[in-house]
Structure 1
Amino acid sequence: MTGDLRHTPLHALHLEHGAKMVPFAGWHMPLQYGKGILEEHHIVRRDAGMFDVSHMGEVDFRGPGALSAIHVLVAGDAGKLPDGKALYTVSCREHGGIVDDLIVYRFGEQHFRIVINAANVDKDLAHFREHAGSHCEVIDRSDEFALIAVQGPRAVAIVTELAGDPALADVPGFGLRDTTIAGASVTAARTGYTGEDGFELFVLAADAPAVWRALHGAGVEPIGLGARDTLRLEARLSLYGQDIDETTNPYEAGLGWVVKLDRGSAPPFVGHAALSRIKAEGPTRRLAGFVVEGRGIVRPGAEVLGEGDQVIGHVTSGGPAPTAGGAVGLAYVPVELPADAPLRLRQRGKELTARQVKGPFYKRPR
């Protein structure tokens, strides 16, 4: 690992837990702890685990023009957000390509926050300031905050008990509530990236170790990036840089539902004209989910074959599905390919067959 990688405020605690550290998006991040990726995956599905996601970026928008700035930057309809609620959506280039997928949080009429992917912080900030910097203050707060995701069937109960705040249990999905844990001020957002219930906790960087220790003392196990990837893939949540990027648009990526072309009197967002055209004409490809038949795991980059072994698409994500069973993945395929057609996949000269699947591979019990 090179010396110019950054450490999150929780780096020392990862080492105490015996984490295997790897470089990720310019940071030293835990790949796994002593229990291994498979067991960490099962801990989150069955109990509760916590992730250090402090490498994610936080950008605040403040001032009378905050909402108009958000309107310009995101394809969702933030105008319908009440205080204390959040919205998953995308920000796009003029040609409709995805700059980032992100969550918009509304704290008040003149205060919004966007959480962005770690590898995109500099790019997103430049995009935000170029297109919305004249509307309001655009403040990079990424270094001020740590972000701890607590996920799993027991996550909400544990965080609620630690905070001594029964109202936390009633926070709705994509809702927010300010509370206190281990003497630290925390904003708890009922969001996540695992397919499980739980909270993502915004806490000042200096207070993060105390909150982490309190969670660990309450029985929440630390979980690394390896299990985070298997969890999100089972839940069929896209990964920026693999399943989506600036060469993909929301409609072909299965994210058309986050795009609101008709937002009344709100100003059009960047990429509105391009996405209007793409929706009218229809995308030429789609992101298909698949389950591998028989044994074998398909990794990103594997080819999707058509007639005559012509390459008609590529796998973007693939790996084991510890809870759902077998091996699963995502691949871009032509829209003409029937949704019930088997997929022929070629990886390192070996051919495998997969069946297409709609929806997530795993869905948590309600």
Structure 2
Amino acid sequence: MMSELKKTPLNDYYREVGAKLVDFGGWEMPVQFTSIIDEHNAVREDVGIFDVSHMGEFKVTGSEAVDFLNYALTNDVSKLKVNRAQYTTICNEDGGVIDDLLIYRLDDNTFFLVPNAGNKDTDYEWLTKIDGYDVEISDESDDYAVIAIQGPNSRAMVQKHVDEDLSEMKMFDAKQNVSLAGQEVLLSQSGYTGEDGFEIYMKPDSLEELWKLFKDDGATECGLGARDTLRLEAGLPLHGQDLSPEITPIEARIGFAVNANKDKFIGSDILKDQKANGAPRRLSAFEMTGKGIPRTDYEVFDTEGNKVGYVTSGTKSPSSGKAIGFALVDTDFYEDGKEFIVKVRKREIPAQFVKNFK
């Protein structure tokens, strides 16, 4: 028997406005409100809002919190200043990515972790099984709802409703206990779109009021479809496709989230070796040069018919109109501009590697 999907506090509202709902990581979430292209373009050109309340929230506290997190995570938490966030990963002993997440430092010994929705329970179980540290780990996911407000005009829109000066906030800056339209929130300069923007953590009963506040300001309501096309255009990986327990952060080209200079951490033997000597595979951006849209798990071949990898993510870019994607390929095969073949169903479609999507 299938378990009932979890719902954010906006679920009734979604039904009222006719949003298209899908199962995403065990949550009933909107994939689109109007059209993915319109929502995507609104974020690139103006402002879009996303309900990301399905994401998890953990707190880690204690006198040995830094040591614990430096063992459990791949980045160096000791370098994280109060009111700053850091991108990092939880890896297994083989170096594969159990999850990628943001971690915020709220004070010297208190950290706020934001795992992916579908991995939250796995992450919590993994972290709580690590022994030998004086820390307390609490799953506070039910205590938070989250709005992501993204786009070139998002900063001005948020600024209208807070007293703090947001002009100097840069990527991964955070402000605690901010009063936003009378609601106390954690405000983070972050997002998953490649645009300027903020993620706003609040009490669940504040979500609908603040959602409608930004909507009335002119923000476009956006679903998961646009979130996916936006993040792929920006070259950002998605766990479950571009990242997985079988793919290391070095292979996924997010080696900046692995600090090889710190002491032993879970997966460090393999990750330190891959960072120093290279990984056998690499996640590589590409564009289709023939007609066809790449999709996850499509096979990738060289021009002589030898399999060299597979597509992890793919879509038609609303911004460029090109069919784009990520492929995990043999490192020795990759070369910028190199041509290869993507097997789209029974057709062999030409493609080429690119440094980034334009």
2:21 corresponds in structure 1 to 21
Among the aligned pairs, what percent are the same residue?
39
- In structure 2, the CA distance between the partners of 1:355 and 1:306, relative to structure 1 (3 Å rule), is closer
Partner of residue 292, structure 1 = 288
Q: CA RMSD in A?
A: 1.6
Corresponding residue for residue 82 of structure 1: 81
Stretch of structure 1 that moved more, 2-11 or 322-331: 2-11
The aligned residue for residue 330 of structure 1 is 326
Give, in whole Å, the separation in 2 of the partners of 1:70 and 1:132: 12
Q: Say yes or no: does 1:91 pair with 2:97.
A: no
Assess if the C-alpha contact under 8 Å between 1:61 and 1:113 holds in 2: yes
* C-alpha distance in 1 between matches for 2:3 and 2:259: 44
> 1:278: how far off?
2.6
1:175 correspondence with 2:155: no
CA distance in 1, matches of 2:132, 2:187: 28
Give the Cα–Cα distance (whole angstroms) in 1 for the partners of residues 227 and 131 of structure 2.
33
**Equivalent pair of 1:192/1:199 in contact (CA under 8 Å):** yes
AA in 1 matched with 2:68: A
TM-score with structure 2 length normalisation?
0.96
For residues 133 and 188 of structure 1, what CA distance do their matches in structure 2 show? 33
Instruction: Please give the alpha-carbon distance, in whole angstroms, between the structure 2 residues aligned to 1:112 and 1:27.
Output: 25
Gaps of 5+ in 2: none
How many Å separate the matches in 2 of 1:87 and 1:193?
Answer: 14
Tell me, yes or no, if the aligned pair for 2:308 and 2:333 is still in contact at 8 Å: no
Alignment partners' CA distance in 1, 2:107 and 2:346: 55
> 2-side partners of 1:195 and 1:95: how far apart?
30
Alpha-carbon spacing, 1:133–1:62, altered in 2? closer, same or farther (3 Å): farther
Q: How does 1:5-16 map to 2 (within 5 A)?
A: 5-16=5-16
- Give, in whole Å, the separation in 1 of the partners of 2:334 and 2:172: 34
DSSP 3-state at the match of 2:157: helix
**Farther off after superposition, 7-16 or 49-58:** 7-16
Task: Supply the distance in 1 between the matched residues of 2:154 and 2:249 (Cα, whole angstroms).
Answer: 31
CA distance in structure 1 between the aligned counterparts of 2:143 and 2:63, rounded to whole angstroms: 23
1:130 corresponds to which residue? 129
Q: Bigger shift: 278-287 or 152-161?
A: 278-287
Q: Please identify, of 2-11 and 290-299, the stretch whose mean Cα deviation from structure 2 is larger.
A: 2-11
How many Å separate the matches in 1 of 2:226 and 2:101? 21
Structure 1: 5+ residue runs without aligned partners?
none
Q: Distance in 2 between matches of 1:118 and 1:127?
A: 15
Matched residue type, 2:350: T
CA pair 54-286 structure 1, distance change in 2 beyond 3 A: same
Deviations 1:131-176 (A, max 9, x none): 267331101011110011000001111011122x241232221000
Match for residue 358 of structure 1?
A: 355
Q: Tell me, yes or no, if structure 1 residue 314 matches structure 2 residue 313.
A: no
Give the Cα–Cα distance (whole angstroms) in 1 for the partners of residues 289 and 149 of structure 2: 33
Distance 2:117 2:134 in 1: 25
Aligned residue runs from structure 1 range 1-366, under 5 A = 4-33=4-33, 35-131=34-130, 134-163=133-162, 165-178=163-176, 179-263=178-262, 267-306=263-302, 308-339=304-335, 340-359=337-356, 361-362=357-358
Question: Alignment partner of 2:98: what SS?
Answer: strand
Amino acid at match of 1:46: E
Task: Number of aligned residue pairs: give it.
Answer: 356
Distance 2:86 2:350 in 1: 37
Whole-Å separation in 2 of the counterparts to 1:134 and 1:336: 41
The separation in 1 between residues aligned to 2:187 and 2:321, in whole angstroms, is: 32
Distance in structure 2 (CA, Å) of the matches to 1:134 and 1:143: 26
